[in-house]
Amino acid sequence: GPSHPPPVPQELEEVRRWEGARDVRLRDRNVRRWEGLLLPNTPPYNAGAFRFELTFSAHYPLAPPCATLRTPIHHPGVDPEGRVCQPLTTHEHWAPTTRAIQVLQDLLLLLDSPDPQRVLRPDLARELQERPEEFRHRAQEHTRLHAEPRPDPPGP
């Protein structure tokens, strides 16, 4: 069928104003590919920033966008390729009224509070459950090694 217009500029502006992300821009000047930094709120991930990419198909908003993390993270809900378990963006659950910012808010929530229902790395889920101290320590170390520095908060 015909391709739909790309995501509206207001959606990008909305994400740029959100405190959960920084440095949000088009990747390769492509309106269907956004990137930026997600800023988790809770330890151990809040010591760094995590680069994300959001890709919109030609059928958006009828088809969901796809979010991936470009920064490696020690987290049960993110696989080594940066894919995330996001029921919100599956074809069963997607609603065309859902906005890009909601997809990113959902991703940030997953980073902040790993969800036993949203697991792509069962080994890490088990570690978190059975050896939480060890998990936290590893995630902290991993964040220190791989995450990007957190940008300063915007001034007044």
The catalytic site residues sit at 85
C-alpha 81/C-alpha 42 separation (Å) is: 23
Residue type, 5: P
C-alpha 147/C-alpha 39 separation (Å) is: 10
51 close to 70: Cβ distance less than 8 angstroms: yes
142 close to 48: Cβ distance less than 8 angstroms: no
- The pair of structure tokens assigned to 121 is 């790395």
